[in-house]
Structure 1
Amino acid sequence: MPVPRLLRLFTPLATACLSASVGVVSIAAAQTPDSATSTIQIGDPFPRWELTDQHDQTHRLPGDTTQAIVFSSSKQADETLSPVLESVVGDRLISGEVIYLSDISRMPGLISRLFALPSLRDRDYPVVLIREEGVSAPLVTETDCLALYRLGQGTVVAREDLCVESDVTNAF
C-alpha cells in the first residue's frame, strides 16, 4: 500500500523529533546521580547548602558550631518526633548546635503556604527548609523516621535513624 504524500513529508520531522527526545532522555539519565554513590556516608563532608527557614531567614549548613543535623522528609516523623526533639535538645536548636532540616519539596505550594509554613512558624527554633525537589537526594532516612547526622568540623562522623521517641531521647 503506498504511503500518503503528507505522511512522507512529516516522516523525517517525526524521526528527528523522536531522536532528539531520546537524546534528551539519555542526557538526563546520564546526569542523574547514582543513588548508591550520591548518598552521604560517614567520613563525607556534609553538603554546603544555603537554605531558608520558616521565617525566610537564610542559614548556611553546616554552621561553624553545628554538631548535628536532624533531617525529616516525612510529615509523620515531623509531627510525632519533633516535639520530643525540641524537649530534649531545647536551646541547642535555637543556637544552631543542632539544626532541624525538613524537606517540603514534594508538598504542593498552596498547601505549604496555607498550612505547613504557618504551623512551622509557631516553633521557637528555626526549621531549615528544603523547598526544591532533588536537593535532599544525598540524605537518606527510613520512612517516618528522622535521620540524625552527627558532625565533626562539617564532616559526618555518625548517622542513625530516630524512629520512636526513645530513639530521640537516647540520641541526645
Structure 2
Amino acid sequence: MKRWSILLLSLLPLWANALEVGERLAPWTLLDQFDEAYSLDSQARVLLVARSMEAAKLVNAALKDKPKDYLQERQGVFVADIQRMPALIAKMFAVPAMRDYPYRVMLDRDGRVAPRYVAAEDKVLWLQLQDGRLVARQEYATAEQLAAALEQARP
C-alpha cells in the first residue's frame, strides 16, 4: 500500500501540469537542427511532440518520403525531446543526421518544452491548436496512424 501511495504522490505533479482543452499554450523558442530559432505562435495548428527516440522514429517514418514543406504546409511543428541524449552523440551524430530530414525538428536539448506536454514516452503526442489554444489531443503509436492523421490535416 505504501508503494501505491508513493506512486500516486509522485504522479500528482503530472496531473496538475496537464494541459487542458481550451488552454493557451505558453510561448517558447527552440533551435532546430540547423540552429535556427523557432518561436511557437498562434499560426501553428499542429504540435507534434516526441519524448523519446522511439517516438521520434515514428515521426521520421511518417514524414520521410514527404515533400520538404509537407509539415509546414499543414502549419505543423515537431518538437523532439533530446535532453537525455549525450551531448557528444547529439552534436557529432544525431543532429547532423537530422539535417537530411525533409522537415524541421525543434530540438528540446534542456527539457524546457517537451515536459510541458504530458504523454506516453513511446508515442507521438499530437496537439491540435487554434489561435494558440489547445482544441484536441491525440497520441499515435504507429507511423501509419500518424501519416494518415497528417493527410487529413491538409491546409
RMSD: 2.2
Give 1:155's match in structure 2, choosing from 133, 149, 153: 133
* Structure whose residues are more often helix by fraction: 1
| Conserved 8 A contact 2:78-2:104 | yes
Q: Percent identity, aligned pairs only?
A: 27
TM-score normalised to structure 1 length: 0.72
Q: Structure 1 CA distance, aligned partners of 2:104 and 2:29?
A: 14
Q: Secondary structure at the match of 1:105?
A: coil
TM-score normalised to structure 2 length: 0.79
**Structure 2 residue 28 is matched with structure 1 residue 49:** yes
**Structure 2 residue 18 is matched with structure 1 residue 39:** yes
Q: Structure 1 CA distance, aligned partners of 2:119 and 2:68?
A: 23
| Conserved 8 A contact 2:45-2:76 | yes
Amino acid across the alignment from 2:89: I
Give 1:170's match in structure 2, choosing from 132, 148, 151: 148
Give 1:79's match in structure 2, choosing from 47, 57, 60: 57
Q: Structure 1 CA distance, aligned partners of 2:29 and 2:88?
A: 23
- Structure of higher CA gyration radius: 1
**Stretch of structure 1 that moved more, 155-164 or 80-89:** 80-89
**Corresponding residue of 2:8:** none
Q: Structure 2 CA distance, aligned partners of 1:70 and 1:140?
A: 12
Matches within 5 A, 1:74-153: 74-87=52-65, 91-95=69-73, 97-153=75-131
Aligned residues: 139
Q: Specify every segment of 5 or more residues in structure 2 that has no aligned partner in the other structure, as ranges.
A: 1-11, 151-155
Q: Secondary structure at the match of 2:115?
A: coil
